[in-house]
Structure 1
């Protein structure tokens, strides 16, 4: 059994090959550039871990993991365009460096080549893997649209926000694990449990991310806190605060969102604390973490095979605040 770090290193060495043709260079250079920016490669490694939970790694798992990583980069490339983001991981985004049209085409061709990798796998697995991949790809697009819709809406319910996070973030984590499980020969019940493990883990991770943006230690979190507050992002914290606040507190929150005074972050955080939003968020994160671990516990394999996934959950969810 390999740890997340060991599998990530193996995947990195296999992924850093030429995925694209040479010509037209004006298109494929942009793709190579974007992939060179790198990342944690969490999703493809989760595919490998989902496979190894049930059996030795199937050679086809490397093809599926590569397809997942290319698909994820396709979504990031297009997200950067929609967000008008100038930087990704401290590097110039593709649409600012090569132009929006090239960035759109670069994302499109990454998706096409992802399918080339999927088509390399054994026919016995192909139908199930492609069906899950397509369902997940559609859901990620739906989640991104909901996220954009929410920016225009003054009020969003907490349930609607959780559904958006599930679609935009969690389903790809869940599907990556489940595709690996399919290649590992897992039965239907085990495949469903590993999917639910990933889905709930993803939601818990987003709750944590929202919490750290507001209450985290900047030195440990790696960025200034309050960025979501300054941008009026509809996070778990803000949506619950609007529900839990008194009439006066809610009016002040709405006023601060409209006027953006210099002390906005401090004043919003004070309302959050007065409404016990920090403690509520910790409990919500723990609730989804518990659900994830219950599904992992329910998978019918010896517990020692589950340890890398337990360690992955700890890695994702035990960040310093």
Structure 2
């Protein structure tokens, strides 16, 4: 098994050769611009790691990894349009730079390019890969719609939020690993365990993301904390706080949600701490992380082959940025 860092370097080098060409240039240039912004590339490397867990990396794994990364970038372009976001990775978003209509079409072309990558793999492997890819793509769209629906809802339950996060974020991590496992010749039982490992790890990852937005160190986090609080975003933390705070604290929290005072972030964070939401979030993260690791442990391969995935899991849920 190779480390995440080694596979990331290998994938990044190969992926850099993927460019968009065609006429009109105004349609394809936005995608080259967006890909030039970089990214963590966690999902495509998970394809390679899922393959490497069971067998030497199959040549087709790089095509599948390309498809996963292209699909992920397609979702980001469209997410930025829906969120009216001005920046992505510290740079101007595609719709701000080229216009919303062009960004929409460029994202569509990115999605088509993902299928072009999948079409290159061996015909015997394509049906299972394509089925999982299509199911996951649909689920990600469902998760995004739920996220938008939640913005219009006055209350969202923890279970509803977990369902949304599972669809919007976790299933793509899980499917990336399972696609790699399919290419590595894994049996149905091992495929199920690696999928559940990725799904539960994805939920723990989101809990950590929500936690850092409220309690992270701005210098390590890379951006000002409290963005979710200022936007009244229904995160793990806010949903739990609304369910446990009482009396004057509840009235204060509701008042802060309906206004935007200069010290809003500080006061909401104080209420989070007072109600124990910070510790609750860490315990919930640990619960999903432990479940993920139980599924990783259940995979029937030699223990040392699992070590790179264990290391990646630890990094994702302990990161401070």
What residue number does 1:30 align with?
Answer: 30
The answer on 1:266 being equivalent to 2:266 is yes
For 1:259, what is the secondary structure of its paired residue?
A: coil
For 1:123, what is the secondary structure of its paired residue?
A: coil
Shift of 1:22: 2.9
Equivalent pairs, count: 321
Output aligned runs, 1:136-147, within 5 Å: 136-147=136-147
Output aligned runs, 1:62-211, within 5 Å: 62-211=62-211
Shift of 1:249: 2.0
Instruction: Using structure 1 for the length normalisation, give the TM-score.
Output: 0.98
What residue number does 2:296 align with?
Answer: 296
Indicate conservation of the 8 Å contact 2:177/2:198, yes or no. Answer: yes
Q: Distance in 2 between matches of 1:87 and 1:279?
A: 32
Q: Distance in 2 between matches of 1:18 and 1:7?
A: 17
My pick for the range that moved more, 281-290 or 11-20, is 11-20
My pick for the range that moved more, 137-146 or 225-234, is 225-234
Q: Distance in 1 between matches of 2:20 and 2:32?
A: 8
Name the Cα RMSD after superposition: 1.0
Q: Distance in 2 between matches of 1:18 and 1:224?
A: 34
For 2:125, what is the secondary structure of its paired residue?
A: helix
Name stretches of at least 5 consecutive residues in structure 1 with no aligned partner.
Answer: none
Shift of 1:217: 1.4
Shift of 1:247: 3.5
Indicate conservation of the 8 Å contact 2:208/2:318, yes or no. Answer: no
Q: Distance in 1 between matches of 2:168 and 2:157?
A: 17
Indicate conservation of the 8 Å contact 2:218/2:225, yes or no. Answer: yes
Q: Distance in 1 between matches of 2:127 and 2:171?
A: 19
Instruction: Using structure 2 for the length normalisation, give the TM-score.
Output: 0.98
1:239/1:23 CA distance change after superposition, 3 Å: same
Shift of 1:224: 1.5
Name stretches of at least 5 consecutive residues in structure 2 with no aligned partner.
Answer: none
Q: Distance in 2 between matches of 1:130 and 1:287?
A: 32
Q: Distance in 2 between matches of 1:203 and 1:209?
A: 10
For 1:262, what is the secondary structure of its paired residue?
A: coil
The answer on 1:314 being equivalent to 2:314 is yes
Q: Distance in 2 between matches of 1:88 and 1:247?
A: 40
What residue number does 1:218 align with?
Answer: 218
For 2:320, what is the secondary structure of its paired residue?
A: coil
Shift of 1:89: 0.7
